[in-house]
Amino acid sequence: MPHPDVMEKLVSLCKRRGFIFQSSEIYGGAGSVWDYGPLGVELKKNLKDRWWHAMVRARDDIEGLDAAILMHPRVWEASGHVAGFTDPMVDCKACKARFRADKLEDAQCPRKPSKHPGEHGDCQLTEPRLFNLMFKTHIGPMEDTASVAYLRPETAQGIYVNFLNVQQASRQKVPFGIAQIGKAFRNEITPGNFIFRTREFEQMEMQFFIDPESDHMQWLEYWKAQRMAWHRSLGLSEDRLLFHQHTDKELAHYARAAFDIQFDFGGTLGFQEIEGVHHRGDFDLGRHQEYSSKRLEYVDQVSNRRYIPFVVETSVGADRTTLAVLVNGYHEEEVPGESEGRVVLKLDPRIAPVKAGIFPLVKKDGMPEFADKLAKELRAKFPVFYDEGGAIGRRYRRQDEVGTPFCLTIDGQTMSDGTLTVRDRDTLAQERVAADRVLEYLSARVL
């Protein structure tokens, strides 16, 4: 069965509950840029932390880096972005809408949504024009060609230009990788679908440097498998994930082979790329060596060979992955024995922004004091939310909607025997756990 389209409901939930807001909303909003609220920033940070742990901290063959967004403009000439990072754009003179000329079959005619642009009798599409997606700015007070700079459209180039700095400082030997997380900017012609395609976004990229005389295709397979396993570890359903191999027509200018990891966002959006795994050969280092006139060869101390390594890149969007886990987690359910259903975000407990809701059943008999003390103790380890307002059922629903995996209720029995109720978000099962064992109980499930 196809997955339902939950995007509209999700956008509303994200705003209402403080995950994601439209940027500059009080001014009517800025085009396709979004701000992360209290819960959204925690969720995205948890994803980034998991990526950093898997890619950098838990390995001895990958080093971390945090390169600047602004770089020397020659970087983008060498990388091919000045000449080639373009999309063909067409305008409709009749309805004034703008489309990507190569994606007309994915777009709807604003006047007749059942048709693609150009198919409706009134459409007047212009000839395609190439449009560079890089944002241009100037460094210093003079706005002349000598001061031109670009907001980086990918983080990868910061890694290439630092390849030898990192390799020599860390004394890594090929094969090894360099990873970083950071903002990237693209002046997309047709952004949209909430945080799926935006003009400012975060990438988590890793470039793995390989001996070109080794079995380099094996590394492509290795990284495909590693990255797919990572997405599954976030709780994304198996049936919503697949690989898409780029055809010759789809391959980027730098790529020898490329695979997208696609996630099924449901509805008409369907399967879309969340990560690219690319074999970039020696294109980038070779070009930077040519344009900078600085040698970027690796010296193999054992064989005494000098060579420009091949690169396998893994490049995943932090925002797109955030959207994938939200879409994957969103459920509307009947609740046995209750007239009203519930909205629940079934986020993996390890990425959920709040790990436990803590509720005194009533505001008397020492329950609030007990619950408040417990909340303070747990908060030292992970985010928890104390809530003493309203009916217990309503408090559960509020936590279900933001994906809190456990709710702890302090009741009359707690005051006599020191146990409390732990309610599981997904199964709705409740069990009694000794309050002095709750930290251990939760840690095993949410960290």
Residue numbers at the binding site for ligand GAP (CB under 6 A):
154, 156, 186, 188, 197-198, 201, 203, 205, 273-276, 313, 315-317, 319-320
In this structure, the strands spanning 419-424 and 430-434 are antiparallel
Contacts of 326 (CB under 8 A, 6+ apart): 10, 14, 19, 43, 345, 347
- For 155, 365, 380, 405, 408, the CA distances from 422, given in Å and listed in that order, are 43, 20, 19, 10, 5
Give exposure, 107-142, as e/b (b: 16+ Cβ within 10 Å). bebeeeeeebbbebeebebeebeebbebeeeeeeee
Nearer to ligand GAP, 182 or 329 (CB): 182
Minimal distance, residue 252 CB to ligand GAP, in Å: 7
In the complex, minimum distance from the CB of residue 135 to ligand GAP, in angstroms, rounded to a whole number: 12
Residue 330 phi/psi, 5° resolution? -70, 120
Report in angstroms how near the CB of residue 353 gets to ligand GAP at its nearest: 20
Place of tokens 């990572």: 230
Cα–Cα distances in angstroms (integers) from residue 350 to residues 124, 180, 378, 443, 445, in the given order: 51, 22, 15, 10, 7
Given a contact cutoff of 8 angstroms between Cβ atoms, the answer to whether 428 and 400 are in contact is no
- Nearest approach in angstroms of CB 159 to ligand GAP is 9
Tell me how far apart the alpha carbons of residues 192 and 116 are, in angstroms, rounded to a whole number: 17
CB of 276 to ligand GAP, least distance (A): 4
Burial class (CB in 10 A: 0-12, 13-18, 19+), 400: buried
- Residue 272 or 413: the one with the smaller Cβ distance to ligand GAP is 272
* Least Å from the CB of residue 313 to ligand GAP: 6
For ligand GAP, the closer of residues 279 and 423 by Cβ is: 279
CB of 244 or CB of 331, closer to ligand GAP: 244
Smaller CB separation from ligand GAP, 319 or 411: 319
Among residues 183 and 437, whose Cβ is nearest to ligand GAP?
A: 183
Q: How far is the CB of 192 from ligand GAP (least distance, A)?
A: 10
H or E stretch at 401: helix 392-402
Q: Which of 95, 62, 325, 58 is nearest to 195 (CA)?
A: 325
Q: How far is CA 184 from CA 24, 44, 191, 250, in A?
A: 19, 16, 14, 21
Work out how close the CB of 316 gets to ligand GAP at its nearest, in angstroms, rounded to a whole number: 6
**373 Cβ contact partners less than 8 Å away, ≥ 6 residues apart:** none
Per DSSP, the three-state class of 326 is helix
Distance of CA 28 to the CA centre of its chain: 26
Nearer to ligand GAP, 194 or 396 (CB): 194
Rounded Cα–Cα distance for residues 301 and 317 (Å): 36
Query: Cβ of residue 248: shortest distance to ligand GAP, in angstroms?
Result: 17
Nearer to ligand GAP, 65 or 274 (CB): 274
Instruction: Output the smallest distance, CB 88 to ligand GAP, in A.
Output: 16
Q: Which residue is nearest to ligand GAP (CB)?
A: 317
Would you say 279 and 257 are in contact if contact means Cβ atoms under 8 Å apart? yes
Residue number, 200 or 377, with CB nearest to ligand GAP: 200
Give counts: helices (H), strands (E), the chain: 13, 23
φ and ψ at residue 427, rounded to 5 degrees: -90, -15
Of 278 and 355, which CB lies nearer to ligand GAP in the complex structure? 278
C-alpha distances (whole Å) from 314 to each of 222, 305, 332, 376 are 11, 27, 34, 40
Comparison of 186 and 216: residue with beta carbon closer to ligand GAP = 186
Q: How far is the CB of 41 from ligand GAP (least distance, A)?
A: 17
